[in-house]
């Protein structure tokens, strides 16, 4: 590959690539939870966690180079109605890695959590500022990826409460919860009464699962146990999972895009939530659902890795697109 082609690929490296780190981190957290809940005796989670760390480091270096060499391309992403909302995937990756490291390396987890939480607040403020003062967004631009900046705040309490930052965790949780409900209504209106989402954005429908599933996990940390509101959050997430899985043929019948990684983290989130429900209730049904979801998300991530590496080899990623 020539220097020119390398530079060209770097110029079009999309920030959406960080969704891969979210998916791998989510899978690692799900397996870590399963190892504890079912006393597996094997550290399956180490594999996806290692891949998550490596992919995060590689992407940070590559995107850092893009920022230094192709600032106009970065500015274009920051002004794009879809790609803008994936910038907080960087801060979410910090937070998720902090959650994943918390059981074994609490000091490292605290640093990652602090960096991720601070950066995410700044990115939330920036993105919402763009939303408020925009001049070119239309209703057709909104899609479930718009959840990422605001609802990512709900992740903070999952590690924040164990680290001792309970009041700060309530601050982040409140932001994510309120804006999830507002955006959910807007997105549902857009889907029902306007043109369907473009094929490239179809996988983002799975992002609908993440807010209630992650919200359930955060709420458990904040209140210390299950209550009626926790059940509402979990069962909304479970219903959305069932709704989308019944339409699997529609999602997997489309061409591969990097947006396919939107399948991974939400499925990992509802898996961890189901494991937590099993811990809280002891009902065997939740154990069965958890194993089914854990198998599904594991196979999904393996398939996504295969499709991504194949697409990178074919040169169909890091190229211009609308």
264 closest CA partner among 202, 201, 206, 194: 206
CA dihedral 307, 296, 245, 188 (to 10 degrees): -80
pLDDT at 2 over 60: no
301 closest CA partner among 29, 4, 75: 29
For the chain, give the mean pLDDT: 91
CATH of the domain spanning 3-314? 1.50.10.150
- Rounded to 10°, the helix 264-281/228-245 angle is 140
- Spans of all domains in the chain: 3-314
Tokens standing for residue 118: 């601070």
Per-residue pLDDT at 166? 96
Instruction: For residue 40, give the 3-state DSSP assignment.
Output: coil
Contact 271, 294 (CB under 8 A): yes
pLDDT band at 303 (very low <50, low <70, confident <90, very high): very high
More confident residue, 266 or 201: 266
- Over residues 47-80, the pLDDT tens digits come to 999 999 999 999 999 999 999 998 888 888 888 8
pLDDT band at 321 (very low <50, low <70, confident <90, very high): low
């Amino acid at each position: 590959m020539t220097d020119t082609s390398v530079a060209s690929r770097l110029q079009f490296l999309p920030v959406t690539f960080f969704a891969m780190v979210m998916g791998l981190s989510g899978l690692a957290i799900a397996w870590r939870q399963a190892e504890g809940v079912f006393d597996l005796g094997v550290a399956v989670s180490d594999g996806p966690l290692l891949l998550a760390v490596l992919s995060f480091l590689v992407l940070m270096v590559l995107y850092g180079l893009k920022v230094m060499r192709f600032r106009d391309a970065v500015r274009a992403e920051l002004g794009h109605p879809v790609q803008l909302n994936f910038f907080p995937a960087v801060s979410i990756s910090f937070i998720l890695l902090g959650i994943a490291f918390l059981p074994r390396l609490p000091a490292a987890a605290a640093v990652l959590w602090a960096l991720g939480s601070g950066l995410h607040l700044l990115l939330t403020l920036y993105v919402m500022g763009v939303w408020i003062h925009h001049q070119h967004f239309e209703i057709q631009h909104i899609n479930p990826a718009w959840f990422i900046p605001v609802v990512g705040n709900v992740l903070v309490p999952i590690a924040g409460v164990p680290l001792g930052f309970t009041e700060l965790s309530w601050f982040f949780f409140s932001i994510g919860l309120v804006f999830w409900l507002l955006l959910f209504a807007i997105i549902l209106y857009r889907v029902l009464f306007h043109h369907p989402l473009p094929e490239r954005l179809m996988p983002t429908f799975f992002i609908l699962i993440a807010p209630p599933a992650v919200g359930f996990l955060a709420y458990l940390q904040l209140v210390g146990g299950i209550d009626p509101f926790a059940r509402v959050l979990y069962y909304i997430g479970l219903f959305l999972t069932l709704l989308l899985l019944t339409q699997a043929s529609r999602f997997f019948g489309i061409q591969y895009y990097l947006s396919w990684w939107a399948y991974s983290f939400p499925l990992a989130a509802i898996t961890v939530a189901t494991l937590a429900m099993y811990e809280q209730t002891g009902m065997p049904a939740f154990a069965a659902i958890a194993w089914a979801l854990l198998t599904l998300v594991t196979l999904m991530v393996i398939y996504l890795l295969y499709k991504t590496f194949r697409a990178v080899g074919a040169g169909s990623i890091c190229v211009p697109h609308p």
